[in-house]
């Protein structure tokens, strides 16, 4: 028998309410924050604040890839660049959290598991 007194707090058409602080990525302008009542605070997972600029995880990964392009030696064939960017992304992810499975990192970086394994070897992670 359900007497209807099972008090499950049902808030009025509660769409996600974000508690106080929200963060906007400097680069892609995505906004994120924590759901009201969440015990989390501070930057969302994977985000970082560097030199007073806030970047989301996806942009941090892209920035890591772009940083590599600035360092490529002259004469590097353009066909090599996507590979360099991909490995920069993987290295970024390994640096962030090397404990994740290869498949997960590969997916996050849209690259192959083989590429992740190769980066792990190179990185010693």
Binding site for Zn ion (CB under 5 A): 25, 27-28, 56, 59
Minimum CB separation of residue 39 from Zn ion in Å reads 25
Minimum CB separation of residue 75 from Zn ion in Å reads 32
Instruction: Name the residue nearer to Zn ion (CB basis): 25 or 119.
Output: 25
Instruction: Name the residue nearer to Zn ion (CB basis): 30 or 72.
Output: 30
Q: What is the DSSP string of 18-80?
A: EEEEEEE-TTT--EEEEETT-S--SSPTT-EEETTEEE-HHHHHHHHHHHHHHHPPTT--GGG
The answer to whether 90 and 83 are in contact (CB under 8 A) is: no
Instruction: Name the residue nearer to Zn ion (CB basis): 26 or 102.
Output: 26
């Amino acid at each position: 028998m359900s007497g209807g007194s099972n008090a499950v707090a049902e808030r009025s058409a509660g769409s996600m309410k974000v508690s106080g602080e929200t963060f906007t990525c400097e680069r892609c302008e995505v906004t994120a924050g924590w759901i009201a009542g969440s015990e989390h605070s501070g930057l969302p997972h994977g985000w970082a604040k560097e030199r007073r600029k806030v970047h989301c995880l996806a942009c941090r990964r892209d920035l890591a890839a772009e940083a590599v392009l600035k360092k490529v030696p002259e004469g590097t064939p353009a066909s090599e660049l996507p590979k360099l960017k991909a490995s920069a992304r993987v290295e970024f992810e390994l640096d962030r959290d090397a404990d994740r499975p290869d498949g997960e990192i590969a997916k996050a970086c849209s690259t192959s598991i083989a590429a992740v394994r190769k980066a792990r070897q190179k990185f010693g992670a």
